[in-house]
Structure 1
Amino acid sequence: MLRCLPKVPDFIIPFQSLALPTFHISSVSHCLHKHIELNSPCPTDLSDYIVLLQQCTNRKSLWDLRRTHLHMHKSGFPHLSLGNKLIQSYLKCGSIEDASNLFDEMPQRHIVTWNSMISAYVCHGLSGEAIGLFERMCLENVFADEFTFSIVFKAFSDMGLVHGGRKAHGLLVVLGVEVSDAFVGSGLVDMYAKFGRLRDARLVCDRVVEKDVVLLTALIVGCTQHGENGEALEVFRGMIVEGIKANDFTFSSILIACGVLGDRSGMQIHGLMVKFGYDYVVACRTSLVTMYSKCGSIDDSLKVFERCPGANLVTWTALITGLVQNGREESSLLMFKQMVGKSLSPNAFTLSSVLRACSVLAMYEQGQQIHCIVFKTGLHGERYVGAALIDMYGKCGSIGMARLVFDSLDKRGVVLINSMINSYAQSGYGEGAVELFDHMRKSGIEPNDATFLSVLSACSNAGLVEEGCRIFSSLQRNSKLDPSTDHYACVVDLLGRAGRLEEAENLIKQVEEPDVVLWRTLLSACRIHGKVEMARRVMTRVLELDQGNEGAHVLLSNIFASAGEWSEVSNMKIAMKDMKLKKSPGMSWIKVDREVHTFMAGDPSHPSATEINEELERLREKIESLGYVPDVRFVLQDLNEEEKKRSLYYHSEKIAIAFGLLSNKHNNTCIRIFKNLRVCGDCHNWIKYVSKVSEREIIARDAKRFHHFTDGMCSCGDHW
């Protein structure tokens, strides 16, 4: 048996004794009126075999094709005379191995056969084999044609072989194949674009005389993939001016570019898409949803989605992601529920987005439910889903669950490590963050900008001054990374909270162009340590950069209030009123029985206000017996001593905790509250005492971080 034929397994009945079915050629071609039996002792003519091969190909029957091939060989028919037809049939039946074996057996091969094999390798993801066959073709002095080059350029781009691709381009020039042809030009443009060599892609494109949609779309896609979205938009506009009609691939790509740029021309492109009849193509609608959401027009995204009755998973995911990106986290979770109700199984991108929504809203229970879906879909090992889970548990204050997820993942790259370090940072576990950071570097994993930012934030939150300075020094020595103003802000905060304000100010002066965030961070440190004169000087710097910075005005007003300089406080309030600046009111909220209850200081509007006040009074008596004394330094109003104490009793976080204890009298569940501003020093001390007398864990998430209160202690170590 020839090497090109497949080996027949031992359990197959020998060919001679096999009663093969009769093929009725008359059913295929009315011009042939005879039957061919594969077990016929006499060979048949060429036309009969051609029809048989066509029948096998039409039915995609590899088994019958192999039997036909075997019969040709058995009957003595020169089967290699039909080599091209056989190869084409094997390829169409999905057997690249049989086609390859037959190809090797052929003494002579037509250029069409070479092209078919190279194309088959590329289509089956075997680009390396395709390139090897192309090189063999050149060695055998077979001249490649336009089709050969268009295929092999794709193989080089798939493999990322820039040098090989450029050599193939050179050979194309040597052979005199005309680059001005759109067919070859499209392949070259696509290859150079995928390599990120957009200048070369554009030069090739400019040489093509009859430009078509495939060529220009290849250039547009390459531009968008390498962040040259403005260039992509220019190519698209030129394309429209030249009267070349865009297709669905063009629209899908250019709309994404508009979304990245936030360019409102996306609306005009939407109009063109409708005009050309592509508004019902799912890929185009998905790009529309993404474009509008990235441009901040989430309502337009919803309108597009509502007109898409057959939305697939990709479209649903685009909408859910857009809702999260535009601050519509609750809506994204509702959409996710609807999607699952339609029996669409979420992918990694969908799950990452809804977990991010749970993170922002600190929805612990919903996050746990989505975690279950992650396991059901088998995506618990996917790194971005894992990172989103760690982030969700971290932002919900469940650092233990975050670590469990982290430890369960096999491949812990920089994305996962960053999520875990950031979770430690938010909950005040600086030692854990530093330990993980050091272990990361010892393992050979290089930290990136986000890693340094998270670990420096962890050091700042935990008061780890020496560790923070050590890590910042290593960042400054890093040849691949440059410290950003965010990194400097973390260290300024770290030094400022430790009382090293002069060092913090000198560090700011090292920055070439310090921004308002750096000076505001130092101003906040002045507030902590009551440095009024330094605060005046720093405030001057802030106002030079941002005259109407609301946060800075509030900080300076609070500094004056803490120092008892009430005339200055009055002046600040007048100035803020003139500039129409308003201080954000402090509020706290707690979720009980799936309902969110929001409280403001001294707010009597809650239906359970009477019971809450009674609970606050009971708690006051208990904790004062243990030594709690109201810290009136945190009262920023000009009141007498008794009035100051009374005002502290009804801060929003205290009301929320009292309501949480009332609502969970009969169990020992954790009390979780949230505040839009930072927890004040008196409330922080008050919660420590309450955690002890109530024997409950209390988790408070403020604008900066989490505080875990247990048995009279806080995870921050009183440093926040």
Structure 2
Amino acid sequence: MQISVGLIRFLSLVRTLRTTAPCRSHIPGTCFHHGSYVLPLNERSITETFSSYVSLIRLCAERKSATGVKKIQLYMIKSGFPHLSLSNKLMDAYLKCEDVENARKLFDEMPHRHIVNWNSMISAYIHNKRSREAVRLFGRMVAEGIRADEFTFSSTLKAFSDLGLLREGRKAHARLVVSGLELSNVFVGSALVDMYAKFGRLSDARLVADRVVDKDVVLMTALIVGYTQHGEDGEALEVFVSMVKEGIKANDFTFASILIACGNLGDLCKGKLIHGLVIKSGFESAVASRTSLLTMYSKYGLVDDALKIFDRFVNANQVSWTAVIMGLAQNGREESALSMLCEMIRHAMVPNAFTLSTVLRACSSLAMLEQGKQIHALAMKIGFDRESFTGAALVDMYGKCGSIERARLIFDDLVELDVVLVNSMIYSFGQSGYGHEAVKLFLGMPDLGIEPNGVTFLNVLYACSNAGLLEEGLQIFSSIGSNPNIETSRDHYACIVDLLGRAGKLVEAEELITQVKSPDVVLWRTLLSACRIHGEVEMARRVANSVLKLEPGDEGTHILLSNIYATTGNWSEVIKMKSTMREMRLRKNPAMSWVEVGKEVHTFMAGDWSHPRSTGIYVMLEELIKKVGDLGYVPDTSFVLQDMDEQEKEKSLYHHSEKLAIAFALLSSSNSTDCVRIFKNLRVCGDCHTWIKFVTKVVEKEIIARDAKRFHHFRNGQCSCGDYW
């Protein structure tokens, strides 16, 4: 409204300069026609008109009204005013209104362009993420013989790094060397350092930084950021120390970057020292520094310290909220992370894709399907459900909650796939026992234009191991050696050892381990687990000794060896192992199962009577045991200690935690057709596995059980694992 009033006043001013007399002179430069009137171009009227146009253009720029600027330009043209005499003002106004198209049209009309015009246009393209057009304009500038200055180069170097044009960036660097700007201009030096750092050419970035004569905080921060972003946090710390020694004062962004480096290094002492320096320099209240502080303390596992820092925020931004949510999720406080997301939304702060992916992975860790569905709905509402980060987290969440069909639907619906998404889908297939589907997706990656990485191979080998695909797994494992970009890791070997061991090829598995340079505990323990499956006691003793040489107090090995003795019926050795574990104060984690009912998680242990509905649970359990017994279920008492009579053994089996969880779930949803989902912290025992298959026949519902290793989808008396787990 103010602009319209200003335009009316301006038109009134123009009318006062009109005369009803016909034009008496046609000498160029003395007058110009406007309708049936003539505006005399004497010195005073030109000055008044010029200044009025300038004032109005400035007003439009302040109000960010590109429409107003366009109306003024059109009026100039219509009235015959030489609008190009104000082209710089008009172009600047368009750019301030972020109207790049009209600014470019005006730029192209200019008969003579100053270097400032070129720089403004190039900078505007980069600011609007149109780096390719910026590079083309720079090329035209060079072709027209316009000499670039430090502002041109600093903008264009950013465009080269955005587009990955290293060769063109090097050419621009060469021009800078010739012009002498490389050493003398810190502005240009900072742009070069930033460009080389983004290309990962950190040695070049460091060389440029060392050559700049008068270094400043921007240049040094660019170098620190480059090192931090490429995992060279120790180098970043060295640069920071040298910067302090040279008397260059750090700013908020410097501290933010170096605190992240300290967190990555896990050096709490240095982190606290820099925290003290942040306080001394007066930057503790700055958003970037404070966010990096809470990230650093979260990485140290000092979540409470991170929360104290977060509580001191007056107006936390999106990045700060995401950082504290991530810190909670990464330190085993998934439920607190979900609560913090609710707080974030209550504070009218919209989560981004990274925030959503973090809380979705928190849901994955706890297998909280209902909460995951709610976050999925939120992602759809704000338009992030098809973003790569969120998409991968959704696939991972549904996969780890046993909803493989939903995971596949999301995966198939995503337009842009990347290696992270494919890895998530392959892992989900593998965890639910769909080995063939995992291998098919892996083999189809070249058609998708996606190159597999080390994680891809690990996930597909895991899928082969879970499904018993020996031949496919061995072929994929051998193909790693032909890929120059991937190094075979111990984790890859562990998958193949597991695959060979489960197939009964224990000798081949042991030989493979001996080929690994310095085999670790995980490899030997994987083979020990295979010995338990096949009852190979002698090899188990030998393998256990190999583990205990590396880690004498490894409780997992003692537990596995105890289980092997139990499987083969050697109960005297079981008693000895348990006695040894007591002497060493080693404790076996108690078996626990849990189920989510009514948005609340209910946890059970073997023989548990602590639940408020325990009486009903045990009544339901007795009914199920009777019905499955009628169908042919016979308790397998080999899975309990043999120093009990047969009735006690059966009673012990009937009260396993997974049976109690299923009984409670069925009691709570007796009229529902939904499948039952339970989770266990250890491997499901063989007797419970058989029992659950019979239960699905009785209740005519699908039961999905996730144990420490994988998912079991029980339907109509069958399991997706094919009794191979």
Superposed displacement of residue 681, structure 1:
0.7
1:263-318 CA deviation, whole Å, 9 max, x = no partner? 32333333333333333333333222222222222212211111113122222122
> Helix, strand or coil for the counterpart of 1:598?
strand
Matched, 1:286 2:284: no
Paired with 2:197 and 2:541, the residues of 1 have a C-alpha distance of 55
Superposed displacement of residue 639, structure 1:
3.1
Paired with 1:598 and 1:428, the residues of 2 have a C-alpha distance of 25
Q: Paired residue for 1:201, among 194, 202, 205? A: 205
Superposed displacement of residue 629, structure 1:
1.6
Matched, 1:684 2:675: no
1:147-190 CA deviation, whole Å, 9 max, x = no partner? 33333333333333222222222222222336133233222222
User: Which residue in 1 is equivalent to 2:158?
Assistant: 154
1:270-669 superposed matches below 5 A: 270-669=275-674
Superposed displacement of residue 120, structure 1:
3.7
Paired with 2:167 and 2:501, the residues of 1 have a C-alpha distance of 53
Paired with 1:381 and 1:492, the residues of 2 have a C-alpha distance of 37
Deviation larger for 284-293 or 66-75? 66-75
1:179-204 CA deviation, whole Å, 9 max, x = no partner? 13323322222222222222222222
Read off the aligned partner of 1:195 and give its amino acid letter.
F
User: Which residue in 1 is equivalent to 2:4?
Assistant: none
Superposed displacement of residue 207, structure 1:
2.6
Paired with 2:84 and 2:621, the residues of 1 have a C-alpha distance of 95
> Helix, strand or coil for the counterpart of 1:183?
helix
Paired with 1:94 and 1:397, the residues of 2 have a C-alpha distance of 48
Matched, 1:42 2:16: no
Paired with 1:413 and 1:111, the residues of 2 have a C-alpha distance of 42
Distance 1:540 1:342, change over 3 A: same
Paired with 1:534 and 1:565, the residues of 2 have a C-alpha distance of 15
> Helix, strand or coil for the counterpart of 1:41?
strand
Paired with 2:378 and 2:155, the residues of 1 have a C-alpha distance of 42
Q: Paired residue for 1:222, among 226, 229, 234? A: 226
User: Which residue in 2 is equivalent to 1:177?
Assistant: 181
Superposed displacement of residue 249, structure 1:
2.0
> Helix, strand or coil for the counterpart of 1:290?
helix
Matched, 1:20 2:21: no
Superposed CA RMSD in Å reads: 3.0
Distance 1:658 1:68, change over 3 A: closer
User: Which residue in 2 is equivalent to 1:234?
Assistant: 238
TM-score if structure 2 supplies the norm length?
Answer: 0.88
Q: Is the 8 A contact 2:368 2:596 kept in 1?
A: no
Q: Is the 8 A contact 1:22 1:37 kept in 2?
A: no
Superposed displacement of residue 552, structure 1:
0.9
Distance 1:276 1:44, change over 3 A: farther
Matched, 1:258 2:266: no
Paired with 1:693 and 1:717, the residues of 2 have a C-alpha distance of 20
User: Which residue in 1 is equivalent to 2:272?
Assistant: 267
Gaps of 5+ in 2: 1-8, 17-31
Paired with 1:240 and 1:433, the residues of 2 have a C-alpha distance of 52
User: Which residue in 2 is equivalent to 1:697?
Assistant: 702
Superposed displacement of residue 336, structure 1:
1.2
Q: Is the 8 A contact 1:332 1:357 kept in 2?
A: yes
Q: Is the 8 A contact 2:60 2:68 kept in 1?
A: no
Q: Is the 8 A contact 1:53 1:89 kept in 2?
A: no
Superposed displacement of residue 434, structure 1:
2.6
1:308-363 CA deviation, whole Å, 9 max, x = no partner? 13122222122112211111100011111222223333221121111111111111
Superposed displacement of residue 75, structure 1:
8.0
Paired with 2:14 and 2:586, the residues of 1 have a C-alpha distance of 89
Superposed displacement of residue 80, structure 1:
5.7
User: Which residue in 1 is equivalent to 2:194?
Assistant: 190
Superposed displacement of residue 388, structure 1:
1.4
Distance 1:192 1:606, change over 3 A: closer
Superposed displacement of residue 97, structure 1:
4.6
1:408-445 CA deviation, whole Å, 9 max, x = no partner? 22233332222222112112222332333333345453
> Helix, strand or coil for the counterpart of 2:176?
helix
Paired with 2:330 and 2:393, the residues of 1 have a C-alpha distance of 15
Paired with 1:341 and 1:89, the residues of 2 have a C-alpha distance of 39
Distance 1:172 1:24, change over 3 A: farther
1:650-678 CA deviation, whole Å, 9 max, x = no partner? 22212222222333333343222221110
Paired with 2:274 and 2:252, the residues of 1 have a C-alpha distance of 12
Superposed displacement of residue 697, structure 1:
2.2
Superposed displacement of residue 485, structure 1:
1.6
User: Which residue in 2 is equivalent to 1:707?
Assistant: 712
Paired with 1:589 and 1:361, the residues of 2 have a C-alpha distance of 10
1:537-583 CA deviation, whole Å, 9 max, x = no partner? 11121122222211111111121223333333233223323332211
Superposed displacement of residue 104, structure 1:
4.6
Read off the aligned partner of 1:42 and give its amino acid letter.
P
Distance 1:294 1:53, change over 3 A: same
Distance 1:44 1:652, change over 3 A: farther
Alignment size in residue pairs? 693
Distance 1:609 1:47, change over 3 A: same
Q: Is the 8 A contact 1:23 1:37 kept in 2?
A: no
Read off the aligned partner of 2:668 and give its amino acid letter.
S
Q: Is the 8 A contact 1:43 1:75 kept in 2?
A: no
> Helix, strand or coil for the counterpart of 1:149?
helix
Superposed displacement of residue 134, structure 1:
3.9
User: Which residue in 1 is equivalent to 2:251?
Assistant: 247
Q: Is the 8 A contact 2:185 2:212 kept in 1?
A: yes
Matched, 1:167 2:171: yes
Read off the aligned partner of 2:276 and give its amino acid letter.
G
TM-score if structure 1 supplies the norm length?
Answer: 0.88
Superposed displacement of residue 90, structure 1:
4.8
Read off the aligned partner of 1:622 and give its amino acid letter.
K
User: Which residue in 2 is equivalent to 1:57?
Assistant: 58
User: Which residue in 2 is equivalent to 1:14?
Assistant: none
Superposed displacement of residue 477, structure 1:
3.5
Paired with 1:404 and 1:417, the residues of 2 have a C-alpha distance of 13
Identity %: 63
Q: Is the 8 A contact 2:228 2:257 kept in 1?
A: yes
> Helix, strand or coil for the counterpart of 2:444?
helix
Paired with 2:125 and 2:265, the residues of 1 have a C-alpha distance of 38
Q: Is the 8 A contact 1:41 1:75 kept in 2?
A: no
Paired with 1:99 and 1:444, the residues of 2 have a C-alpha distance of 39
Superposed displacement of residue 640, structure 1:
3.9
> Helix, strand or coil for the counterpart of 2:441?
helix
User: Which residue in 2 is equivalent to 1:145?
Assistant: 149
Paired with 1:372 and 1:73, the residues of 2 have a C-alpha distance of 53
Read off the aligned partner of 2:41 and give its amino acid letter.
P
Distance 1:274 1:22, change over 3 A: farther
Q: Is the 8 A contact 1:196 1:226 kept in 2?
A: yes
Deviation larger for 607-616 or 96-105? 96-105
Q: Is the 8 A contact 2:57 2:89 kept in 1?
A: no
